Structure 1
Amino acid sequence: MTLYYTLVFVLLVLEMTLFMLLIVPLPFGVKRKIFTFISENPVVAKIQYWMKITFVFILILFIDSVNRVYRVQIELMAASEQAHKGSAAGVMGHERLEVQARKFYSQRNMYLCGFTLFLSLILNRTYVMIIEVMRLEDRLKSYEGTNKDTKQSEKLAVAGKPGELAGLKEKLEKKDQDLQTLKKQSEQLHKSYDELSDKYAALQKDHESTKTR
């Protein structure tokens, strides 16, 4: 195996290791620190930039290996046809083995580059999905009022900010209490009004009775 294909193999092993680390279950706080470090570290950003350039070269190697597999397949078919004709069977058998070996190495390089590129796409998508899940978990905790960083902001609930739901619940409870108080006051006023109406009606009857006398 040549040097650049050896480097591709090392990169493939590294990608497999990173993928295993991504899917390992970790506590939310630890995972958050790790991904925050990866997202904000400038060294990691430079590494990602150079990795993108590296994957461009791996894509070129993959295309070249596919082309080699195609050419070797054509040579193998031509060697098989000549072998069937029976001309120089011993020499053609040796050439056939050589072509088979070239086919094997070409296919190995093609699969190596192909799996490396495919796993890079899976790693990128898995990383993005984990970041989105962590953001959704933070948002959910902030809306439920369980996030320590947003306990103070819940008291000053503002639309569109963490702690809004808890603040709205407090306001709703206060409104319910005010409504119950108003109901009690209205009932008392209604009773007082009925009593005054009865007294007024009784006074009217007494007044009319005195007039008739």
Structure 2
Amino acid sequence: MLTFYNQVFLLLVAEMALFMGLIVPMPFGVRRKIFTFISESKLVAKLQYGLKITFIFILILFIDSVNRVYRVQIELAAATDSNKGSAAIMGHERLEVQARKFYSQRNMYLCGFTLFLSLILNRTYMMILEVLRLEEKVKQYEGTDKNTKQSAKLAQAGEAGEIGTLRRQLEAKDRDIATLKKQSEGLQKEYHDLTEKYGATQPPAGTRKDK
């Protein structure tokens, strides 16, 4: 049992070190790579599953340590009441009970702080993921993200290509309209020439003979 409590203490130290690592300020790109690796790694997922089982055992130890503290407290009160006549015996028994109370309280605090810090780590991890997601959205809206810049360049290139195509089509339409205008002017000129020729072939109105 003592070896297991030593392991719980090592786990508590590891949680404290991990918490310090989470709150250390880092650049956005580095933090995003680290948390992307943590969220997508299968090894980390297996480790988290094993830690969940470990925390269940720690919760059982915490409940057991609370029960032990309660029983030692009752035993200490009973020993005080039953040994009022013998100060030497009372002092010896009281010392032993106090020692067991100290170890029980130590185990209770150790398991309790380990469980409490695990909840804080989980909540901190989720909050950091949410902050990273929001920061990435802000960078995309501002156009400062590398992928967003590349997408914007591609979109601009596509728009430029589309504008160039429309411009060429418009120039072709303008050329067709100019060609049609020239053809219309030529037809109109030919029509006037034919009208003048036709008028020249007709005799004057006063020289026509009535039948």
- TM-score between both structures, scaled by the size of structure 2: 0.71
Counterpart of 2:199 in structure 1 is none
Paired residue type of 1:12:
L
How many pairs does the alignment contain?
Answer: 156
Q: Which has the larger radius of gyration?
A: 2
Q: Which residue among 108, 117, 123 is the counterpart of 1:110?
A: 108
Match of 2:120 among 114, 119, 122: 122
Q: C-alpha displacement at 1:154, in angstroms?
A: 3.6
Q: What is the aligned partner in structure 2 of residue 96 from structure 1?
A: 94
SS in 1 for 2:26: coil
Q: Identify the residue that residue 2 of structure 1 maps to in structure 2.
A: 2
- After superposition, what is the alpha-carbon deviation per residue over 1:125-147, rounded to whole angstroms, capped at 9, x for unaligned? 00000000000000001011111
RMSD (Å) for aligned C-alpha atoms: 1.6
Equivalent residue for 1:171? Answer: none
Question: Once the two structures are superposed, what CA deviation does each residue of 1:24-56 show, in whole Å capped at 9, x if it has no partner?
Answer: 001111111111111111001000000000000
Q: Secondary structure at the match of 2:83?
A: helix
Question: 2:148 matched to which residue of 1?
Answer: 150
Whichever residue aligns with residue 104 of structure 1, its letter is F
- Measured against aligned partners, the alpha-carbon deviations of 1:151-187 in whole angstroms (never above 9, x if no partner) come to 2434687xxxxxxxxx9xxxxxxxxxxxxxxxxxxxx
Q: Distance in 2 between matches of 1:89 and 1:123?
A: 49
Q: How does 1:26-175 map to 2 (within 5 A)?
A: 26-84=26-84, 86=85, 88-154=86-152
What is the CA distance between 1:91 and its match in structure 2? 1.7
Gapped regions of structure 2 (runs ≥ 5): 160-211
Runs (4+) of structure 1 exceeding 2 A deviation are: 151-157
State the percentage of identical aligned residues.
Answer: 76
Aligned mates of 2:77, 2:60 — CA distance in 1:
26
Task: Determine the C-alpha separation between the residues in 2 that align with 1:126 and 1:52.
Answer: 17
In structure 1, what residue type is equivalent to 2:62?
F
Give, as a single letter, the amino acid of the residue that structure 2 aligns with 1:90.
Answer: A
Q: Highest relative contact order (Cα 8 Å, sep 6+), 1 or 2?
A: 2
8 Å contact kept, 2:59–2:115: yes
Letter in structure 2 aligned against 1:115: F
Contact 2:35–2:129 (CA<8 Å) still a contact in 1? yes
Return the alpha-carbon distance in structure 1 between the equivalents of residues 31 and 150 of structure 2.
25
Preserved contact between residue 83 and residue 89 of structure 2 (Cα < 8 Å): no
